[in-house]
Structure 1
Amino acid sequence: MMILALCLVTALVTAARPMEKPFRLEGRVYCDTCRAGFETSFTTPIAGAEVKVECKNRETQELLYSIGATTDSKGKYEIKVREDHANQLCDVMLVSSPQSDCAKPDSGRDRSRVILTGNNGISSYNRFANAMGFLKDKPLAGCQQLLQQYEQE
């Protein structure tokens, strides 16, 4: 009984301890200046956008982990996650944009599912989220011509 208790305590301490090498989650935030629903050559990065990653229990949807970040001058962010989130659903999502004329999250491009566990065959601790975007209030001049070019190709 004593050996079983010792093994259980050791396993719990090991599981609760932060990872020696954290996951490095990277992504980008952009302004969809043409309101196209995808990135174009007119798309611009958003500096100072707020994002967060949340991990929830798969069955109960209870929030178990949350951490935020801000994008740099190139619209990129990096979040270090020091815990393994096996068996949890983790999403990166848009929180806010500093650009008042490009502050509406693009539905379908406002979040990205990420895998934050080392027990899945991926040897690297680097994780990459899909780019997420906000919509410009009014499309830029020239967007109609640009979108027509996409249709022709």
Structure 2
Amino acid sequence: MAGTAKALALLCFLSALAIAHCEHFIVQGRVYCDTCRFGFETKASTYIPGAKVRVECKDRTTGQMTYSIEGITDETGTYKIPVEEDRPDEICEAILVSSPISDCKEFESGRERARILLTKDNGISNHVRFANSLGFIKDKPLPGCSELLKQYELDE
């Protein structure tokens, strides 16, 4: 029994050590459709399943692309893209690629990319890196958006 306890303790220690030295990350975020064309996420925004997102990293000095990988959002509009290796000297971003919704395919200005830090040397102990939401904008606003805008103006 004592040998089993020691083996279990060793296994736990090695697992913790492996996690501490883990050099992979999960970039996670959501993709939405700005159904009111307000330029930001609202309670009327919808999340887009099947949207394509790419994580790109570039050398901080030369600007040359060093890494690129694509992912697709799930039924909740959430993407989780695995990234190999620590990237301390690179600028990395989650970038919108495409939307499967025919009337919500235009990139929302300022919401088409989100910068992310992909290094273990930044004080964050979790390997998941959360990116700001990325957005497309609907061709025409939904009915009821003007009433929603009035609610936001009253909240000031």
Short-chain TM bin: 0.7 to 0.9
User: What does the per-residue CA deviation read over 1:3-45, in whole Å, with 9 as the maximum and x for residues that have no partner?
Assistant: xxxxxxxxxxxxxxxx745211110000000001111111000
- Give 2:63's match in structure 1, choosing from 61, 76, 101: 61
Alignment pair present for 1:117 and 2:128: no
Alignment pair present for 1:99 and 2:104: no
Alignment TM-score, normalising by the size of structure 2: 0.84
- Give 2:148's match in structure 1, choosing from 128, 146, 149: 146
Separation (CA, whole Å) in 2 of partners of 1:52 and 1:110: 11
Shift of 1:119: 1.2
User: What does the per-residue CA deviation read over 1:27-82, in whole Å, with 9 as the maximum and x for residues that have no partner?
Assistant: 00000000011111110000100000000011211000000000011100001112
Query: Deviating runs (4+, > 4 A) in structure 1?
Result: none
Partner of 1:35: 37
Separation (CA, whole Å) in 1 of partners of 2:27 and 2:94: 9
Q: Could you say what secondary structure the match of 2:149 adopts?
A: helix
Separation (CA, whole Å) in 2 of partners of 1:130 and 1:104: 18
Separation (CA, whole Å) in 2 of partners of 1:21 and 1:117: 8
**RMSD of aligned C-alpha atoms?**
1.1
Alignment TM-score, normalising by the size of structure 1: 0.85
Separation (CA, whole Å) in 1 of partners of 2:110 and 2:142: 21
Q: Point out where structure 2 has 5 or more consecutive residues left out of the alignment.
A: 1-20
Partner of 1:8: none
